[in-house]
């Protein structure tokens, strides 16, 4: 069953219309990333295709669970251009997400990708919030085999509300979708955002803001 679900998510991702991908369309068969190049471009410089090998398109071990022994109780194993050089210019990537019971993949966004998620094991409570001014929440309880889509750039989350571990696979419409975890970005920025600004934005007192920042930062020199 798990193998069938993995095949299903890969099929869904690879059949996305190329026009929906946020990355530019490739102009050749492939453009294996040359991570040793000192040239800075939007993405990666191509390796000479004569030197490409099968390993440039390969990543092992996605069957192995991530370590969920952390405050969030979740672990994301990305498979993007940083792991598979052959994904460069192809506008696609993948991730495995493991959840302990009550584990959370906290509210975050992918600035460059739409995400499509399938639950492989367990149960997940998921949702996303639309942009201003509506800020409407779309939420759903997902069972094994269920699929949910998170539109590009919108804040979303996944929470394991079950009593057993959960696993999901996500396809993303970018070779490098990026991730901005909201709490980390707001309360853990480097250097920290002024507590006057955050206190006013979140309608909190500065003491509470300082406490929240300390959870991500400790003390900033």
- The binding site consists of 105, 108, 110, 115, 156
Distance (Å, whole) CA 126 – CA 66: 19
Name which of 55, 189, 160, 190 is nearest 100 in CA terms. 160
Name which of 109, 96, 95, 105 is nearest 73 in CA terms. 105
Question: How many of the other CB atoms lie within 10 Å of CB of 206?
Answer: 13
Show binding-site residues for oxalate. Answer: 105, 110, 115
Name which of 94, 75, 87, 79 is nearest 35 in CA terms. 87
Show binding-site residues for Mn(2+). Answer: 108, 110, 115, 156
């Amino acid at each position: 069953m798990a193998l069938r679900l993995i095949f299903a998510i890969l099929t869904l991702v690879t059949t996305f219309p190329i026009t929906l991908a946020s990355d530019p369309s490739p102009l050749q068969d492939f453009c294996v990333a040359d991570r040793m190049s000192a040239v800075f471009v939007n993405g990666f410089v191509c390796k000479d295709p004569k030197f490409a090998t099968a390993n440039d398109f390969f990543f092992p071990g996605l069957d192995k669970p991530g370590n969920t022994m952390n405050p969030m109780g979740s672990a994301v194993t990305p498979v993007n251009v940083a792991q598979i050089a052959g994904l460069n210019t192809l506008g696609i990537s993948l991730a495995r997400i493991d959840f302990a019971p009550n584990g959370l993949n906290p509210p975050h966004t992918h600035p460059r990708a739409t995400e499509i998620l399938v639950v492989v094991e367990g149960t997940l409570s998921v949702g996303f919030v639309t942009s201003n001014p509506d800020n409407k929440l779309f939420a759903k309880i997902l069972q094994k085999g269920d699929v949910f889509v998170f539109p590009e750039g919108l804040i979303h989350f996944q929470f394991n509300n079950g009593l057993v571990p959960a696993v999901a696979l996500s396809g993303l419409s970018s070779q490098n979708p990026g991730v901005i975890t909201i709490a980390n970005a707001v309360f853990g920025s480097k250097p920290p955002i002024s507590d006057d600004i955050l206190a006013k934005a979140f309608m909190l007192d500065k003491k509470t803001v300082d406490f929240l920042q300390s959870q991500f930062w400790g003390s900033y020199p």
